[in-house]
Amino acid sequence: MKGFLPAVVACAIAALPDTVTGGVFLTLWISPFAFGPHGVRNGMLVMLVEFVLVHATVMLPVLVAVMLAGRDTRLTRALAVAAPIGLYLLFIAALSHAFDAWWPYLAFGWLLFGKFGPSFAARASSQETDMNEFAIWGVSVLAFLGGAFATTLLPLPALGLSGMKPSTLGLPAGASGIWIDEPYRVMAFGALYFFLLAFAKWKLCKPERSVQQRLRAMRRAGPRA
């Protein structure tokens, strides 16, 4: 049991940001004005920011691995992640200008923390941490693509957004598209996507016996008759 509680705390920290974000989307799906008159519009913007980060997660693992070669410390890990992030901030600046809002930078930081923050507090070995990060990056890409298609094509309940007009939700005038015409779909997308990420992070981090521990237990047990 030694170290079990800290491991549980570390796993909870890993899953917490995405759990909170998924909960926000679920709340907006049920009660669209729970976070103000522009909550749904802001939720759409969060998914656009996440799209930028999903693209970043395809490139960052390779860049981080190259920059950390032979120097795997927390400082070099932070520098390796921070360097290419500057490029993606340009995309966030464009979104911020288009929506005439400053908070996309805050959303970017929150989503970024959800992806990379837990790795700095990881209790696992560097190799295990890297394997988990690559697995989570793969899950995020699959969950984003799968969630986008599923919530676009499948019939979904509108819940609190039933009958809501785009202008009532503060959506851009003259804009069109399924997210504008049926905004409950993007709220469902956000809830599904972030809850899936939280579940994946918890399962990958869950304090169970390591592979080495299982192998040692098998050796002690010996061959079965």
Give domain status of residue 150, yes or no.
yes
More confident of the two residues 64 and 30: 30
Taking residues 204-210, report their average pLDDT: 58
pLDDT of the residue at 13: 78
pLDDT of the residue at 223: 55
Most confidently predicted of 8-22, 58-72, 91-105, 114-128: 8-22
Give domain status of residue 201, yes or no.
yes
Give domain status of residue 225, yes or no.
no
Give domain status of residue 223, yes or no.
no
Alpha-carbon span 164 to 33, nearest angstrom: 11
CA 116 to chain centre: 10
Percent of the chain with pLDDT over 70: 65
pLDDT of the residue at 161: 93
Say how many C-beta atoms besides its own lie within 10 A of residue 138's C-beta: 14
Long-range CB contacts for residues 208-214, cutoff 8 Å, separation at least 24: 210/128
Give domain status of residue 186, yes or no.
yes
Give domain status of residue 224, yes or no.
no
The pTM score is 0.73
What length does the chain have?
A: 225
Counting the structural domains of the chain, the total is: 1
Give domain status of residue 206, yes or no.
yes
Of the pLDDT bands very low, low, confident and very high (cuts 50, 70, 90), residue 14 is confident
Alpha-carbon span 32 to 68, nearest angstrom: 44
Backbone φ and ψ of 39, nearest 5° = -60, -45
Q: Does the pLDDT of residue 21 top 90, yes or no?
A: yes
Per-residue model confidence as pLDDT tens digits over 105-162: 777 777 777 776 555 545 444 555 556 667 777 888 899 999 999 999 999 999 999 9
Give domain status of residue 222, yes or no.
no
- The residue range of the domain holding 206 is 4-217
Average per-residue pLDDT in the chain? 76
Taking residues 58-85, report their average pLDDT: 61
Alpha-carbon span 183 to 41, nearest angstrom: 9
Per-residue model confidence as pLDDT tens digits over 188-203: 999 999 999 999 888 8
More confident of the two residues 205 and 25: 25
- Of the listed ranges 122-126, 174-178, 184-188, the one predicted with least confidence: 122-126
pLDDT of the residue at 149: 94
Q: Does the pLDDT of residue 211 top 50, yes or no?
A: no
More confident of the two residues 16 and 102: 16
